[in-house]
Structure 1
Amino acid sequence: MTADVIVLGAGIIGVSTAIHLARRGKSVVLVDRRNPGEETSYGNAGLIQREGVAPYGFPRDFAVLLRYALNNRVDAFYHVRAMPKVAPFLLRYWWHSDAERHKLIAKAYAPLIEHSICEHADLIEAAGASHLIRKDGWMEVFRTPAALDAELDAARKKQAEYGLAFDALDKAELARREPHLNGDFAGGLTWRDPWSVLDPLALTQAYVALFEKLGGRFIPGDAGTLSPVANGWTVTTREGPVQGEDVVVALGPWSDTVTAPLGYRYLVGVKRGYHMHYGARDGAKLNNWLMDAERGYLLAPMNQGIRLTTGAEFALRDAPKTPVQLTRAEAIARKVFPLGERLDKEPWMGARPCTSDMMPVIGKAPRHRGLWFAFGHAHHGLTLGPITGRVLAETMTGEKPVIDISPYRPERFRA
Structure 2
Amino acid sequence: MKFDAIVLGAGIVGVCVADHLQQNGLSVALVDRKAPGMETSFGNAGLIQREGVYPYAFPRAFADVLRYAGNQALDVRYHADAMRELAPFLWRYWRNSHPARHAEIARSYATLIEHCVSEHRELAAQAGVSDLIRASGWMKVFRTNAKFDRERSVAERWRREYDVDFEALDSARLKQLEPDLDDSLAGGLRFTAAESVSDPGALVAGYARHFSKIGGRLFLGDAATLREGWSVETQEGRIESQRVVLALGPWSGPIAARLGYPMPLGIKRGYHMHYEAQSPARLNHPVLDVENGYLLAPMARGIRLTTGAELARCDAPKTPAQLDAVEPIARGLFPLGSRLDAEPWMGRRPCTPDMLPIIGPARRREGMWFAFGHAHHGLTLGPVTGRLLAQMMLGKETIVDPNPFRAERF
TM-score surpassing 0.5? yes
Contact 2:267–2:351 (Cα < 8 Å) also in 1 = yes
Partner of residue 385 from structure 2, selected from 388, 397, 412: 388
Which 4+ residue blocks in structure 1 deviate beyond 2 angstroms?
none
How far, CA to CA, are the matches of 2:66 and 2:134 in structure 1?
A: 39
SS at match of 2:45: coil
1:255 matched to which residue of 2? Answer: 252
1:6 matched to which residue of 2? Answer: 6
1:34 matched to which residue of 2? Answer: 34
2:365 matched to which residue of 1? Answer: 368
SS at match of 2:164: coil
1:356 matched to which residue of 2? Answer: 353
How far, CA to CA, are the matches of 1:410 and 1:239 in structure 2?
A: 32
1:94 matched to which residue of 2? Answer: 94
Structure 1's 93 and 183: CA in aligned 2 closer, same or farther, altered over 3 A?
A: farther
- 1:310 matched to 2:304? The reply is no
How far, CA to CA, are the matches of 1:187 and 1:256 in structure 2?
A: 41
2:197 matched to which residue of 1? Answer: 197
1:145 matched to which residue of 2? Answer: 145
1:397 matched to which residue of 2? Answer: 394
Q: Which runs of 5+ in 1 are unaligned?
A: none
Contact 1:50–1:113 (Cα < 8 Å) also in 2 = yes
Task: Using the TM superposition, give the Cα deviation of residue 282 of structure 1 relative to its aligned residue in structure 2, in angstroms.
Answer: 3.4
How far, CA to CA, are the matches of 1:237 and 1:366 in structure 2?
A: 26
SS at match of 2:349: strand
Q: Report how many aligned residue pairs link the two structures.
A: 410
How far, CA to CA, are the matches of 1:354 and 1:282 in structure 2?
A: 39
How far, CA to CA, are the matches of 1:79 and 1:327 in structure 2?
A: 16
Contact 2:142–2:188 (Cα < 8 Å) also in 1 = yes
Contact 2:175–2:183 (Cα < 8 Å) also in 1 = no
* One-letter amino acid of the structure 2 residue matched with residue 128 of structure 1: G
Contact 2:93–2:354 (Cα < 8 Å) also in 1 = yes
2:48 matched to which residue of 1? Answer: 48
How far, CA to CA, are the matches of 1:264 and 1:403 in structure 2?
A: 24
* One-letter amino acid of the structure 1 residue matched with residue 274 of structure 2: H
How far, CA to CA, are the matches of 2:278 and 2:137 in structure 1?
A: 25
SS at match of 1:255: helix
- Structure with a larger share of its residues in strand: 1
Contact 1:361–1:373 (Cα < 8 Å) also in 2 = yes
* Mapping 1:131-142, distance limit 5 Å: 131-142=131-142
Contact 1:297–1:329 (Cα < 8 Å) also in 2 = yes
SS at match of 2:350: strand
How far, CA to CA, are the matches of 2:257 and 2:156 in structure 1?
A: 43
Task: Using the TM superposition, give the Cα deviation of residue 183 of structure 1 relative to its aligned residue in structure 2, in angstroms.
Answer: 5.1
- 1:377 matched to 2:377? The reply is no
What per-residue deviation string (whole Å, max 9, x for no partner) do you get for residues 269-297 of structure 1?
00000000000113211111100011100
* One-letter amino acid of the structure 2 residue matched with residue 190 of structure 1: R
2:266 matched to which residue of 1? Answer: 269
* One-letter amino acid of the structure 2 residue matched with residue 246 of structure 1: R
* One-letter amino acid of the structure 2 residue matched with residue 331 of structure 1: P
2:214 matched to which residue of 1? Answer: 214
Contact 1:183–1:335 (Cα < 8 Å) also in 2 = no
How far, CA to CA, are the matches of 1:410 and 1:350 in structure 2?
A: 24
What per-residue deviation string (whole Å, max 9, x for no partner) do you get for residues 206-256 of structure 1?
101110111000000010010112xxx000000000001100000000002
SS at match of 1:140: strand
How far, CA to CA, are the matches of 2:16 and 2:287 in structure 1?
A: 27
2:344 matched to which residue of 1? Answer: 347
1:163 matched to which residue of 2? Answer: 163
Task: Using the TM superposition, give the Cα deviation of residue 257 of structure 1 relative to its aligned residue in structure 2, in angstroms.
Answer: 3.0
- Percent sequence identity is 58
- 1:328 matched to 2:322? The reply is no
How far, CA to CA, are the matches of 2:333 and 2:195 in structure 1?
A: 24
Q: Which runs of 5+ in 2 are unaligned?
A: none
What per-residue deviation string (whole Å, max 9, x for no partner) do you get for residues 362-384 of structure 1?
00002100000000000000000
Could you say what the CA RMSD is over the residues aligned between the two structures, in angstroms? Answer: 0.8
1:15 matched to which residue of 2? Answer: 15
How far, CA to CA, are the matches of 1:336 and 1:254 in structure 2?
A: 36
How far, CA to CA, are the matches of 2:11 and 2:195 in structure 1?
A: 19
How far, CA to CA, are the matches of 1:382 and 1:148 in structure 2?
A: 27
Contact 2:8–2:248 (Cα < 8 Å) also in 1 = yes
* One-letter amino acid of the structure 2 residue matched with residue 286 of structure 1: L
What per-residue deviation string (whole Å, max 9, x for no partner) do you get for residues 136-176 of structure 1?
10011011111101111111111111112111111111112
SS at match of 1:316: coil
